[in-house]
Structures are given as C-alpha cells and as structure tokens.
A = this chain, B = another copy of it.
Amino acid sequence: MHQLQAPGRAGRAMAEWAKQLAGIKGVVLDISGVLYDGGGEGGGVPIPGSIDAVGKIKASGLKLRFCTNETQATRGKFVAKLQRLGFNILVNEVTAPAPAACRILKERNLRPHLLVHDDLVPEFDQLDKANPNCVVIGDAADNFSYKNLNEAFRVLIGLENPILISLGRGRYYKETDGLKLDVGVYMKALEYACDVQAEVVGKPAKMFFQSALAEMQVEPQQAIMIGDDIVNDVGGAQQCGMRALQVRTGKYRPCDEQHPEVKADGYVNNLAEAVDIIVKQLHK
C-alpha cells in the first residue's frame, strides 16, 4: 500500500516545499541514515545517490554543515570512515556532541564520569576526570552493561547536586543488521533512577543547531535541515527557526508522516531527491 502511494504523495509534497526555497543559503545534513546506514563489516554502506548529492551541494555554492549525534567514535575517526566510504567531508565541517560537551565541561569546571563508547574516550583526553562531579553518557552500545550503568548511577546518586549530561536523546537508530537502542533510552533510565533531568548536548537542543548555523554564518530562516529523525532532526531544526525535510531512509517509518507533534516541511525519498530539487530551485 505504502509503496504504491509514496510516489504520488512525494510528488505533491515536493511541489509544496520546493516553492518555498527562496532565500536558502545553507544546508544542514544529518549523517547516519541520510548519508549512509551504519553497522556491518566496513562500518556501513552509503545510501544510493548520497555521495553525489554531497558533491552537488558543495558545487552549488550553498553553504554546507554536517550535524550529527554520532558518539560512537571521535569526530576524526568518524569522518575518516565517511571519507573511506567515498564522501567529500572534512572534520571541520562537522558539528558533533562530544566536542560541544567538552567546551561546556571546561567552562563549568566539571569533571566527568564517562559512560561512552571506548572509541569516544579520546575526545575527553584534556579533561580532569578524577573525583567526578557529573556523569556524561553517549551512545555507548555494548558498553551499556548492567555493571557500567550501575557505576554511573552510583556516581550520580552520590553527588549533592547530580548533573547528567547526555550526548543526544535519540530513542534508536538503524544499522545494517537492524534497530539499535540509542543514548536517550539510557538517559531516561538514569533520570528515573536518580530523579534528575539530563542536560542534552546534541540534537534536538536549540544551542546545538545554533552552533552549527554560527559555523556556517547563516541565519536559521536561510537554512534547511535534512534528516531521518522526525523529532531530533526535523522537530529540533524547526524549533530553531529552520526549515526541515525528512528523508524516507535510515530510521524513517511511514507513521512518522502522521507524527502527532512534528510535521516536516517536506518528505523526500532520499537525500539525492532533496538535493536535486533544492539545487534546481537555486537556478530559477
């Protein structure tokens, strides 16, 4: 049913949002589920057409920023993987939660207890981690053992003023072998255990989108976000004043188009389709 209806619906939606692209100067791209699907042997596979699509944005004169909640590796290692997959992407084009969290930790003299992926730990090398006064969680994947979550819990509940910083608040993401629980689920677990509210660094936090826009020197109303997560990408960007498209790749599910709270400015089958339309409108 969905397969049959999709092209017609896409056609209608396309027409609508494409008309409202005047004044767009910058594109913000989510990475996982938009550029590639993570997981498996080589660390993931590109989504068809997305390597060219990134090239087309760069050639168009539009400003481009990648905005990810990826926290399974340092930004450098993550970008190197994407380059190996064939993407034209540089470390300084990427806004990611860990470097943003590091700045915040330094500013506030916080010493983190880390519950993150082993490969993310080097991002926090410059910080004092002795006698921790906060807990930072990222997408720790298999490091989310009972033992490790319990350890983070004990640090947090032992603090007079418990501070929990969560690198994103996603529910799950899609890898080549299926859906995987994301950091938000464990954030909720610790919030409940300690009766605290986490501070989120990453999408959908407004500050996170704002820092991506500042890097591009583009105003929110001049920017369009393209992501596969209806809440964290689309909803987050819209709350920041940006327009936002949802791609029907990655973790997209048909019911997202009837989300009770968030309505994308447009839905597209994939990044390639979105970029073709955006670039075409530039030259009108």
Q: A179 near B: Cβ within 8 Å?
A: yes
B residues near A190, Cβ cutoff 8 Å: 185
B residues in contact with A149, CB < 8 Å: 144, 181, 185
Chain B CB count within 10 A is highest, among A144, A181, A186, A195, for A181
Q: Which of B142, B185, B193 is the one whose CB lies under 8 Å from A171?
A: B193
Contact partner of A146 (CB less than 8 A), chosen from B143, B153, B172, B178, is B143
A185 in complex: contacting residue of B143, B147, B189, CB < 8 Å = B189
Interface residues of A, dominant DSSP: helix
Question: Which among B140, B146, B179, B185 is the interface contact of A181 at CB below 8 angstroms?
Answer: B146
Interface size class of A (residues with CB under 8 A): 20 to 34
Chain A 248-261, CB-CB to B under 8 Å as 1, else 0, gives 00000000000000
Tell me if A131 counts as interface (CB < 8 A to partner B).
no
- Given the known inter-chain contacts A144-B146, A145-B145, please indicate yes or no for A188 contacting B192, CB distance below 8 A: yes
Chain A residues with a Cβ under 8 A of chain B: 140-147, 149-150, 153-154, 157, 171-172, 178-181, 184-186, 188-195
Q: Which residues of B contact A192 (CB under 8 A)?
A: 171, 184-185, 188
Give the residue of B144, B150, B185, B193 whose beta carbon is less than 8 angstroms from that of A193. B185
Q: B147 to A172, Cβ gap below 8 A? A: no
